[in-house]
Structure formats: structure tokens, C-alpha cells
Amino acid sequence: KNEVEQSPQNLTAQEGEFITINCSYSVGISALHWLQQHPGGGIVSLFMLSSGKKKHGRLIATINIQEKHSSLHITASHPRDSAVYICAVTRGGADGLTFGKGTHLIIQP
């Protein structure tokens, strides 16, 4: 079992829909990251959080440390949101990131 699990693996939605991507992890962490990867490989860091909730524009990330679970929400989704969204954790006592496999999101106009 992977240390970081994401669901769903693939998600297709219509423009304007509210999107939720989930991430569960099984190790102790010091931080959780949500990343966005576009075709061609470039990765952009969206959020780094260790508790509670963060919001940036139409993106919201939450984390529940007790349940070892995080969600990434996209409100009023748009075709330009189409990308792979990756959850990653910084493990307590270690460095580098441990990644989930990613969620491939397609927003159709």
C-alpha cells in the first residue's frame, strides 16, 4: 500500500462544477503539499499546510491531522484547471517529498 493515496485517479467534470480531490496518508508528516502538474511536466506548488484550511482564489485545501486526510477543492471549475493534481507529504524526521500518484482532472467546457 502506498504511503500516500489519492482518489479519484481520474475525474472528468463540466465547467462550473465543484471539484473535490482526496488524499490519505499513512505516515507521520510535518506538512502536506498540493501540487499541480500540467502536460509537459512542470509542477507548481499550490499549497503547503500542516493544519486547518488554506484558500487561494478558487482553490481550497483542508487537512485533518487526526484522520490523516486532506482534500483539495476547486470552485467554479474551468477548462484551464485541467491538469494532474498531486498530493505529497513531508514525512516527520525525513526530507524530500513522498508523492501520491496524482489525480488527472479534465474540465470540459
A 10 A CB-CB count for 104 gives 15
Q: How far is Cα 39 from Cα 88, in angstroms, rounded to an integer?
A: 19
Work out whether 88 is an interface residue with another protein (CB under 8 A): yes
Q: How far is Cα 27 from Cα 32, in angstroms, rounded to an integer?
A: 11
Work out whether 10 is an interface residue with another protein (CB under 8 A): no
Q: How far is the CB of 30 from another protein (least distance, A)?
A: 6
Q: How far is the CB of 104 from another protein (least distance, A)?
A: 9
Work out whether 99 is an interface residue with another protein (CB under 8 A): yes
Q: How far is the CB of 14 from another protein (least distance, A)?
A: 25
Residues of this chain, 28-47, that bind another protein according to CB under 8 A: 30-31, 33, 35, 40-45
Work out whether 11 is an interface residue with another protein (CB under 8 A): no
A 10 A CB-CB count for 80 gives 9
Residues of the shown chain interacting with another protein in the complex, contacts defined by CB under 8 A: 4, 30-31, 33, 35, 40-45, 48, 86, 88, 90, 94-102
